[in-house]
Structure 1
């Protein structure tokens, strides 16, 4: 059986060997068509692009569109096996709800918030 301090040190080295990624996410919302355009751009610590994504999805509000952008950024990072990620978005309501500084009151956002929170477990280090 391995010693606890050796296992802890091994996990520290494994963590440092895992690259830190920054994921920028944003959205635009078109109320007339009830459509959101979302974008994700990921860079490594040396500012090299490692991934990007842009898609169009149905949405009913600006905040819903931003949640969809955050969720898709998290899914892309998970699919690419990135475990240490800093997510950067520009809608403070969404960021503060995801960091639990604010509660989610709107019914249409509660399910999206829960989807995002469930994805947080996929990361060993995650910040907004």
Structure 2
């Protein structure tokens, strides 16, 4: 969740105006609000989340304490591979997140059958990543999804339409799952080299090598 601060500023001659900040993490918003209050010229400080709901300072402090015990600052890398000779697919997912002041990495891959193209395998990998987020109990926050598939990234972000029935169906399923979890997705397209970890997992799945693991990062 990100927060926008809105406040009324009163000048020395009594002129008032309203300012609104950029979005920022809740802890940053609280710190800036405290600094603004010290000027003695600020009143009506309001904290607003991305859903246009308002928060009191004590509510934000409680939220910050609670979120530390839950997975947050989540980044997801996903990749799908399709073998046209065997019609066999491999899916790879890497999830980075923080919890209780520590950083973690989760890796997961899976084989898949019944898919008809590499684009569909990419969508299946993205869907697998959302399922893993559900298992991690990630909810009601912004999550960045990173992949090297122009089709998936541009269609999920709304830049491109999804004309193919199979791909549109995957996109709808993923959107519904994200909505049920309260996750606001942010999609980022990267070169394949920057997605090599997820790509390697997908390739291993194609070769029948199962990878499932979670480690704390130092």
TM range (shorter): 0.7 to 0.9
Residue from 83, 97, 107 that aligns with 1:44: 97
User: Which TM-score applies when normalising by structure 2?
Assistant: 0.51
Q: Which has the larger radius of gyration?
A: 2
Deviation at 1:41, TM superposition (A): 0.8
**Runs of 4+, deviation exceeding 2 Å:** 4-18, 44-50, 123-126
| Residues 23 and 40, structure 1, Cα contact 8 Å, conserved in 2 | yes
User: Which TM-score applies when normalising by structure 1?
Assistant: 0.82
Task: Structure 2 unaligned segments of length 5 or more: list them.
Answer: 1-53, 188-218
SS in 2 for 1:104: coil
Higher strand share: 2
2:128 is the counterpart of 1:75:
no
| Residues 178 and 184, structure 2, Cα contact 8 Å, conserved in 1 | no
Q: What does the per-residue CA deviation read over 1:65-96, in whole Å, with 9 as the maximum and x for residues that have no partner?
A: 00000000011011111234211111011011
RMSD, aligned α-carbons: 2.6
Deviation at 1:43, TM superposition (A): 1.3
More RCO (CA 8 Å, sep 6+): 1
Task: Structure 1 unaligned segments of length 5 or more: list them.
Answer: none
SS in 1 for 2:174: helix
Distance between the aligned counterparts of 1:78 and 1:92, measured in 2?
A: 25
